[in-house]
Amino acid sequence: MAIFRLHIPVLDEVKRKGLRTALNDKWVDVVTRVTAGLNPADVRGVLRDDPPGRPNPRLTPHAEGFWLHMKPTYYHRLVDGFYPSFRLGWLSTFFGVFEILTGIYLMIYYTPSPVVAYEDMLNLMSNVPFGQLMRDLHRLAAELMVIVVVLHMLRTFITGSYKKPRQFTWATGVILLFVTLVLSFSGYLLPWDQLSLWAVTIGASMVEAIPPEIVGRNVNLLVRGAPEFGANGLLRFYLLHVVALPLAGIVAFGVHYYKVIHHGHSLPPEGEKVGEDTAKRVPMDSRVYFMPEILTRELWYVAGLLAVLFVGAAYLYNAPALEPHANPLITPLHTTAPWYFLWLQGLLKIGDKVIWGLIIPGVATGLLLLLPYLEVGPSRRYGDRRIGLSLAALLVAAMAVLSYMGTPHYAVSTSPDQEAVAELLPQTHPGPLRSAPWDDLAYGSYQAAAWSAAPNATLQDLLQRYEEVLTNVQSAGRADVAGLMVIEDWQTDLKKVTLRVTWTNTADGTAGEFSQSVYLHRDGNYGQGA
C-alpha cells in the first residue's frame, strides 16, 4: 500500500481532454482567478476597448475582488474630466503609498538613536546602493504631498463639495491634512543633524506654551521625552513617523475614501440643481466605466508620475544636504520651521506665544474641522457663495503674508557681524565659502572693504558679499565696522579660514570683535548634493 499518493488534477484533465485543451482550460482558469472574474477573452476585450457585452463581465472583479471592491464600477462623465477634481485626491493617495514604499527602504538602514542616527544617514549616502535616490524620492514626494493635500482641500472648498451630505468626508479630510503635516514634520527630526534638531525644536516649543504652566511642562515632556530633545525625543518622533501617524492616516483614509464612494464624487456645482445631490444617480448615457477607461488612465498616471519623480530625484532635486551633527548647545542663526509651518512662525512674531501660537491656530483648526456643520447654505454655485469664496481668498493671502513674516527677512533682531559671517558661513547649509573652489582660497589676509584687490574672482566675490552685508545691515551704537578674512595653511590638504569683524562702540569708544573659523579640506566637496 502506498503511504502517500501524489495527485495532480491537471494530469487527469490532460488524460481526459488531451494536452492542448487541458492546458488552455487551466490558463483560462488561472487568469479568471487572478483577475477575480475576467477570462482571457474578457481581458483582451478590456485592452482593446471592445464593447463589453451583456451582462458586463467587467463588473465581476468589483464584486468579487478585494482591491476593486473599493473602486466604483463607473463614474459620472461630469467628474471624469480634469475639472472639477484636478485628480488631487488621487494624487494624495498616490503620494501616500509612494511614501510608505520609499520609507520602508529607508527604514531598513536607520536606527532611531542619537548615537548612531547621523552615522546611519552617512552610511545610507555612502554605502547603500540607491540610498541617496531613495532619500531624495522620499523627501521630494513628501513636499509634493503636502502641496497636493492642501490644494485638494482648497479645491473641495471652492467647489462647495464639503456641503451636505459630505460634511463628515470633509472632517476626515481635515484629519488627513493634519496627519500629512505632522508626518512630514516628524520626519524632519530623523536625520539628527542641526537642521533637524532646530527646525523641530521651534515647532515643539509651541506645546511648552500651553497654559497653565503645569500642563505645558508635562505635555512638553510627553512630546520630547525630556526637557530637551535627546534619545527619548528622537525615538518618540520616529515611532510617530513610522507607526502612529501612518496608522492614523490609513484609518482616516479608509473612512474618507469610503465616504467619497458612498456619496459619489460630487458633481461640478453647475452640474446639478441647487439643493440637490445627484452624484449617485448616474444616467446610463453619462457612465464612464472603470474598465477600461479609468483603469488605463490610472495605470498611465502611475507610470508617468513615477517617471517624473525618478527623473526629478535623480537629476533635478536633492534632499537638503546633511548638516553637522545635531548639537543642542549650538543654535544656528536664522532657524526656520519647515515651509508649511512658516505661517505659524509668522504668527508667533506678532505677539504672545499663547494667543498667537496656540489659541488662534487652535481655533482656526477647529473652525476648519467644523466648517461644513457651520456653513450650511444650500447652494454650491460660485455665484451664490461670494462671501465664502472671498474669505477663502483672503485666508490664502493671509497665509502667504504670515509665511513671509515667518522667514528671517521679517522682524529678526540681528547684528551686522553675525549676519556677515552667516552670509558666507551659514550654519544651516554649506553656503558660499564652503562651496567655493578650494584651490582659489589663496593663503593670506584680506580686508572685506578692499575686495577688489583680492587675487582671484572667487575671493573677490566672497569678500564683496561679506562687505555688502556689513554695509547694509545697520546697527546702532557701532562705528568703523570692518571685516577681515584670513586663510591659513593648516595641515596637508586642510585650510583654516577665519572671518573676523571688528568695530568701535560709539558709546564708550571701546573696541568690539566677533570671529568664527572654519576648516576646509580639499576633498570636502560641499558642491555635491549631500
Partner 1 sequence: MKGQIALGLLALLTLIGVTVAVTLGEQNRMTEFTRAYEARAIEAGATLFEDSCRPCHGPQGQGIEGVAPAINAADLFDGSRLAKVGYGGTLPDYVRGVIAAGRPVPSVGTTYPQRMPTWGAAYGGPLRDDQVDALTAFILNWQDRALGTGAPVPTGPTVGADITVALPDGDVARGKSLSEGVLGCASCHVLTAVGPKWPADAGEPGIGSRAETRFQVSGYSGQATSAEQYLFESVVMTNAYVVEGFQPNLMPQNYAERLSAQDMADLLAYMLSLR
Site for partner 1, rule CB under 8 A: 49, 115, 118-119, 122, 125-133, 292-293, 296-297, 299-300, 303-304, 306-307, 310-311, 314, 324-325, 439, 490-494, 496, 517-526, 528, 530
Q: How far is the CB of 515 from partner 1 (least distance, A)?
A: 12
Rounded to the nearest whole angstrom, what is the least distance from the CB of residue 48 to partner 1 in the complex? Answer: 9
**Separation between Cα atoms, residue 307 and residue 315, nearest integer Å:** 12
Q: Least CB distance from residue 17 to partner 1, whole Å?
A: 36
Name residues whose C-beta falls within 8 Å of residue 163's C-beta, 6 or more positions apart in sequence. 372, 375, 376, 377, 378, 380
Helix, strand or coil, per DSSP, at residue 444: strand
CA 24 to chain centre: 49
Nearer to partner 1, 117 or 206 (CB): 117
Of 197, 184, 157, 189, which Cα lies nearest the Cα of 173? 157
Tell me how far, at minimum, the Cβ of 502 lies from partner 1, in Å.
21
Nearest-Å Rg of the Cα atoms of the chain is 30
Residue nearer to partner 1 on the CB measure, 299 or 363: 299
Q: For cell 457663495, name the residue.
A: 385
Neighbours of 513 (CB within 10 A): 10
Q: What are phi and psi of 101, to 5 degrees?
A: -70, -50
CB 53, min distance to partner 1, A: 18
Question: Minimum distance from CB of 524 to partner 1 (Å)?
Answer: 5
Q: Are 437 and 525 in contact (CB under 8 A)?
A: no
CA dihedral for 418, 421, 422, 423, sign (positive or negative): positive
Whether 280 and 166 have beta carbons less than 8 Å apart is answered as: no
Exposed/middle/buried for residue 16 (C-beta within 10 Å: 0-12, 13-18, 19+): exposed
Alpha-carbon span 95 to 312, nearest angstrom: 15
Count of positions (residues) in the chain: 530
Alpha-helical runs (H) found in 241-294: 245-263
Q: How far is the CB of 519 from partner 1 (least distance, A)?
A: 4
Closest contact distance (angstroms) between CB of 303 and partner 1 is 4
**Cα–Cα dist 27/21, whole Å:** 10
Nearer of residues 240 and 313 to partner 1, judged by Cβ:
313
461/488 with CB nearer partner 1: 488
Start-to-end Cα distance in the chain: 70
Nearer residue to partner 1 within complex by CB, 275 or 304: 304
> Between 449 and 494, whose beta carbon lies closer to partner 1?
494
Q: Is 408 helix (H, G, I), strand (E, B) or coil?
A: coil
Q: What is the DSSP string of 186-237?
A: HHHHTT-BHHHHHHHHHHHHHHHTPSSHHHHHHHHHHHHSSSS-SHHHHHHH
To the nearest whole angstrom, how small is the minimum distance from the Cβ of residue 265 to partner 1? Answer: 20
Strand partners, 75: 288
Q: Nearer to partner 1 by C-beta: 215 or 303?
A: 303
Q: Looking at beta carbons only, is 232 or 407 nearer to partner 1? A: 232
Beta carbon nearer to partner 1, 74 or 162: 74
- Among 337, 324, 317, smallest CA distance to 429 is for 324
Among residues 126 and 218, whose Cβ is nearest to partner 1?
126
Of the pair 87, 496, the CB lying nearest partner 1 is at 496
Indicate the residue among 32 and 132 with the shorter CB distance to partner 1: 132
Q: At closest approach, how far in Å is the CB of 184 from partner 1?
A: 25
Q: CA dihedral in degrees (87, 89, 93, 98; nearest 10)? A: 50
We find the least distance from the C-beta atom of residue 46 to partner 1, in angstroms, to be 10
Min dist CB 341 to partner 1, Å, is 29
Among 224, 263, 240, CA closest to 76? 263
In the complex, the smallest distance separating the C-beta of residue 317 from partner 1, rounded to whole angstroms, is: 13
DSSP assigned state of 478: E
Residue (243 or 308) nearer to partner 1, CB: 308
